[in-house]
Amino acid sequence: MIVLVPAYQPDARLLALVDGLRTAAPEAHLLVVDDGSGPGYAPVFDAARQRGCTVLGHPVNQGKGAALKTGFRFVAEHAPGQEVVCADSDGQHSPDDVLRVAARVRDGADLVLGVRGFTGAVPLRSRFGNALTRALLRLATGRDVRDTQTGLRGYAAELLPWLLTVPGERFEYEVTTLLQAVRRGLPVDQVDIATIYLEGNASSHFRPVLDSARIYAPLLAFLASSFAAFLLDAGALVVLHALVGGLLLPLLGARLLSSCVNFAVNRSLVFAAPGARSVRAAAVRYASLAVVLLAGNYLLLAVLTRLGLGLLPAKVLTEVLLVAASYLGQRRSVYVRRVRARQPTRREPAPVG
């Protein structure tokens, strides 16, 4: 087993984790990545080396995602076939919990999350952030992950090449990994761990505004695309209704125009990823989804307008009601190619130092 710890400006809590793991699992290989902490933190990393850790370094801060990829790349090159457990350096993960996640990976799991219960004295931003991200991830994938922002994760060795291709260099990398794992059809095992926040999580380097924007960018991109398509759809509907009258033909014409634009934008910008379906396959599935949504759109519009609501307000209400169904349908069936997870192979530990 290899324990990978990305660290930016760590303190004695990193060394406490190392000491605890050395005592509980002396056979484990500990790999620490200094993400550009600076000369002032050299004594901490020197102490980690003296305790037997392999320490890699970035000359400047590149972000947690970049540090994790540096560690994954090193393991793939120097210790192929080894599972990796990632843990944070700020004292949030106990050695016992790290080893419980590692045991689940060794038992054959591909991706294991150490999930917190968020009980006790949990900072409000952490409680709210996880609840929001959990809800959005469930909307996007249909999968309920109880702790989307946990840094304690275990990966089978066969996932390392894929992990190096996941986009993102900072905190958004971990959420993007979850999104793509579900799109690949990988099972996500969840292991309960302790909820530990020291000093109100004051040591965290998470930037609430900037890093939250990075994490929520995929969903925000979809909503922006949907809003642009809605404006085009609503405008075309009003114009065609004025020209030809009725409801069905204007609705069909407006939806055909907006769907073509929405499909092109979502495929190239929102859901773009390695392994996505071909344009032809995605277009067929998008068209099938569009027919279902169009039927729902027509029925809702017909009901609302017969109830006396104006055409444009009825259109706005209809689109609001259907946007979640559209996102979920596109995420889960149009732009993704599901693959069967490979059976992990296990090898004897190889030295990494």
Q: Does 70 have pLDDT greater than 60?
A: yes
| CATH code that applies to domain 2-206 | 3.90.550.10
Of 85-99, 237-251, 328-342, the least confident: 328-342
Residue intervals in the chain for CATH 3.90.550.10: 2-206
pLDDT greater than 80 at residue 129 = no
- How confident is the model over 99-116, as pLDDT tens digits? 999 999 999 999 999 998
pLDDT at 337: 47
User: Can you tell me whether residue 20 is helix, strand or coil?
Assistant: helix
Q: Is residue 260 over pLDDT 80?
A: no
pLDDT given at position 144: 81
The pLDDT of residue 346 = 41
pLDDT for position 176: 83
What average pLDDT does the chain have? 78
Q: Write out the H or E segment, with its range, that includes residue 115.
A: strand 111-116
Tens digit of each residue's pLDDT (9 = 90 or more) over 87-96: 999 888 999 9
How confident is the model over 166-207, as pLDDT tens digits?
A: 888 887 888 888 878 877 788 999 999 987 754 544 444 444
Burial of 2 (0-12, 13-18, 19+ CB in 10 A): buried
Rounded to an integer, the average pLDDT of 320-349 is 53
Q: Provide long-range contacts, Cβ within 8 A and 24+ apart, for 291-300.
A: 292/329, 293/322, 293/325, 293/326, 293/329, 294/251, 294/252, 294/255, 296/322, 296/325, 297/251, 297/255, 297/322, 298/247, 298/248, 298/251
Q: What is the pLDDT of residue 141?
A: 65
pLDDT class of 9 with cuts at 50, 70, 90: very high
Q: Is the pLDDT of residue 73 over 90?
A: yes
pTM reported for the whole predicted model: 0.63
Contact 126, 151 (CB under 8 A): no
Q: Which helix (H) or strand (E) holds 195?
A: none
- pLDDT, residue 120, reads 56
pLDDT average, residue stretch 259-277? 58
Q: Is pLDDT of 348 > 80?
A: no
Q: Are the CB atoms for 229 and 269 separated by under 8 Å?
A: no
**pLDDT confidence of residue 306:** 86
CB within 8 A of 274, min separation 6: which ones? 165
56 to each of 37, 205, 349, how far by Cα in Å? 12, 20, 20
% of the chain exceeding 90 in pLDDT: 37
| Predicted local distance difference test score (pLDDT) of residue 222 | 54
pLDDT at 274: 45
Distance (Å) of CA 92 to CA 4, 95, 193, 197, 268: 14, 10, 10, 6, 38
Mention every residue, 6+ apart, whose C-beta is less than 8 A from residue 24.
95, 96, 99
- Tokens read off for 79: 């210790």
Measured CA distances, 330 to 93, 204, 300 (Å) = 36, 35, 21
Q: Report whether pLDDT(275) > 70.
A: no
350 vs 18, which has greater pLDDT? 18
Query: What is the per-residue pLDDT for 342?
Result: 43
d(CA 268, CA 259) in angstroms, rounded, equals: 14
Q: Is the pLDDT of residue 264 over 80?
A: no
Alpha-carbon dihedral 264, 214, 180, 270, rounded to 10 degrees: 0
What whole-number distance in Å separates Cα of residue 134 and Cα of residue 144? 7
Our CA dihedral for 69, 74, 79, 80, rounded to 10 degrees, sits at 50
Residue 267 burial (CB count, 10 A) = 19
